[in-house]
Chains A and B, each alone.
Chain A
Amino acid sequence: MGVASLASTTSDREPRVNRWLCWLCLTLLTAGCASKQVVVEGNFPTPLLEPLPITLGVIYPSAFAEHEVFDEAKGRAESDWLVKTGEAQVEFWDILLAGMFEEIVHIRDWDTVQRRRGDIDGVLIPAIAELQYTIPTHTNVKIYEIWMRYAFRMVDISAIHQQEDGALTFNPEDRLAAWPITAYGKTPTAFLQSDEEAVNLAAVVALRDAGAHFVTTFGANPDVALWLDEIAAKQALPEPTPPLPEPADLTVDATIDSPITEPAMNSADATGDMTGDAQ
């Protein structure tokens, strides 16, 4: 009792049924070609940490804040996939960093750089170097997986410059530290769970894993450890009376360093420049 046998008994009776069956067939044929889109979203917990007494500047480059991966279908049985993680990345790292450091300053424009130059201990610039995903149709394993590799850079606030178009950039030679972080998330197949829901869940697990990896290895990086030691030593000294910064001084400082015209991140894994409108 298949579809064909039922169709053959009814198709001669009514022309409307013919049309209905045509639509059904067309829908079934194109179903495999439909693209799937996941905008990753989740509820991320505040980390349980003793915040480090550090004021950290954060720049989310546009490639990070709007990060997405598009995977084109390789056959008729597969679907195109678009996985957008950007918004979730910003939401997650905002929560994590706010719990890890005493103060977080989002650096979105040159004005913020000038205003907070004196009290920002370092600027963190995250980037997603790579993201891979697998679904059961790819692997024949009943697990959805997401794997990510981040490239973190820590720079001094003085290394941040403004380009002629207003975009912020930094000299890669001036970085304090650079280190990678990998993250992995998986979720098994579940009854009545769509591919999109499962990929979203795997991405949320991967983000949580990224946070756990970041927190547990942050001080272990030698360059970061040195930076932390320097801050601790600075904080141990009696605080000198800070001279009032004059706008003229800042202008001179900015003009001493010639404007950097090369891309802000020159390595292959850098995923974009730090535009002024980056979140």
Chain B
Amino acid sequence: MRRRFHRARSLPSWLGVVAIAVALGGCVNATVDEMTYNEPVEGIGESSVVILGRRHAPDYDTEFDFIECLGDHIHRGDPSIEVINELAFINQLYPWFEPRTAPMQPQSIDRLMDMPVVADRLEEMKLEYMIWIDGKTVDTESTGSMSCGIGPGVAGCFGFGTWGTESEYEATIWDFTDKIEVGRVSAATSGQSYMPAVVVPIPIIAPVQGTACDSLGDQLLEYLSALH
């Protein structure tokens, strides 16, 4: 036990493992597709944008934190763009944006606007664009093994694990005034994460979802902002 412990702490082994892991873990592949039209060349002015996740699929929900990440990315890139918080929006318009009732086509917006209270609320918000995000991040194949032990005064792990992660998201942009779809942007990213453990596990996580957020966010920002 003790010998193994000393060997693990030797500098070359540490550096070797970390260098390999960092070199491999930094790799995230991203593919972005874009098809947009009717771009607001002078920006959206004082109007606002809402980004909403689709959650009607039986086996996944578009993550709330991904939607928040996109909103932050857009607002950071152009502070003049007001992005309405997703949860606040669906609460203020309950029950019209629940998975059961949310409009699936831009033409369905008219049905919502027939209700004066809903139309008034949306007008108060100065909503210009509604962006629907559909997708998910999943872990794929994993390999390796790691064993950990604990005893009085000593604890540690040894082993190596690796797993893949894939993200796939599609943003559909609706022009809320004209009630038409004005673009689709998609981002697919994948990467490999590693977890070497010599006494202490060192997770080297590939920022797959973060890269998807940045890629999609950049494209949306380019569409919405006059500065980009």
Contact = CB atoms under 8 A, between A and B. Distances in A.
Interface of A: 1-3, 5-7, 9-10, 14, 17, 20, 45-50, 141, 143, 186-188, 208-209, 211-213, 215-216
Interface string B142-160: 0000011111101011100
Contacts of A208: 94-95, 98
B96 interface: yes
B156 A48 contact: no
B95 A211 contact: yes
B151 A209 contact: no
Interface residues of B, number: 31
Contacts of B117: 48-50
Given A6-B154, A209-B100, A1 B116 contact: no
Contacts of A46: 94
A47 B94 CA distance: 5
Contacts of B149: 1-3, 5-6
20 contacts: A1-B4, A1-B147, A1-B148, A1-B149, A3-B149, A3-B151, A10-B152, A14-B152, A45-B92, A46-B94, A47-B95, A48-B95, A49-B115, A50-B117, A186-B61, A209-B98, A211-B94, A212-B98, A212-B101, A216-B95
B108 interface: no
Given A48-B93, A48-B118, 18 more contacts: A1-B1, A1-B156, A2-B147, A6-B151, A6-B154, A9-B1, A14-B152, A48-B95, A48-B121, A49-B115, A143-B59, A143-B60, A188-B60, A211-B95, A212-B98, A212-B100, A212-B101, A216-B101
Interface of B: 1, 4, 59-61, 63, 91-96, 98-101, 115-118, 121, 147-152, 154, 156-158
